[in-house]
């Protein structure tokens, strides 16, 4: 079975600090990769996704992620966080060729940004 690991469960930063959230997956085949964000009291929404092409993908609100196939990783980064980035972040993976729509989620990383 595939799995997605997010190693940091809770990250606390001050505003303007740089952010990197780790995500590793276990699957040897071709994958589609996603980062979702859930702001307090709101629904999950897509930050960015990777299907193919340039492994460095840019998303909304200044976030980016880099797919490193050899490391089975898709880490999320932001050079300078803001208080409004406080949220829970979920990495998700879909293995191509698997059951249609089967997304595997990590357990999430809670990011708290202090003003």
Sign of CA dihedral 113, 49, 35, 11: negative
Provide the minimum distance between the beta carbon of 19 and other proteins in the complex, in angstroms, as a whole number: 20
Considering only residues 37 to 96 of the shown chain, the ones binding other proteins according to CB under 8 A are: 42-46, 49, 51, 90, 94, 96
Residue selected from 28, 40, 99, 115 as contacting other proteins according to rule CB under 8 A? 99
CA terminus-to-terminus distance, the chain: 41
Q: Is 49 exposed, middle or buried (0-12, 13-18, 19+ CB in 10 A)?
A: middle
Residue selected from 106, 109, 111, 113 as contacting other proteins according to rule CB under 8 A? 106
User: Could you tell me which stretch among 54-62, 63-71, 78-86, 104-112 binds other proteins (CB under 8 A)?
Assistant: 104-112
**Tokens found for residue 39:** 């702001």
Q: C-alpha distances in angstroms, 25 versus 91, 95, 110?
A: 9, 10, 19
Interaction site with other proteins (CB under 8 A): 4, 9, 32, 34, 36, 42-46, 49, 51, 90, 94, 96-108
């Amino acid at each position: 079975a595939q799995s997605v690991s997010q190693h940091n469960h809770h990250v606390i930063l001050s505003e303007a600090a740089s952010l990197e959230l780790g995500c590793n997956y276990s699957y040897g085949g071709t994958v589609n990769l996603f980062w979702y964000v859930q702001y307090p009291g709101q629904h999950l929404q897509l930050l960015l996704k990777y299907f193919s092409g340039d492994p460095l993908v840019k998303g909304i609100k200044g976030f980016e992620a880099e797919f490193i196939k050899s490391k089975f990783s898709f880490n999320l980064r932001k050079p300078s966080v803001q208080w409004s980035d406080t949220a829970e972040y979920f990495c998700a993976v879909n293995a191509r060729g698997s059951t249609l729509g089967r997304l595997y989620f990590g357990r999430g990383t809670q990011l708290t940004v202090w003003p």
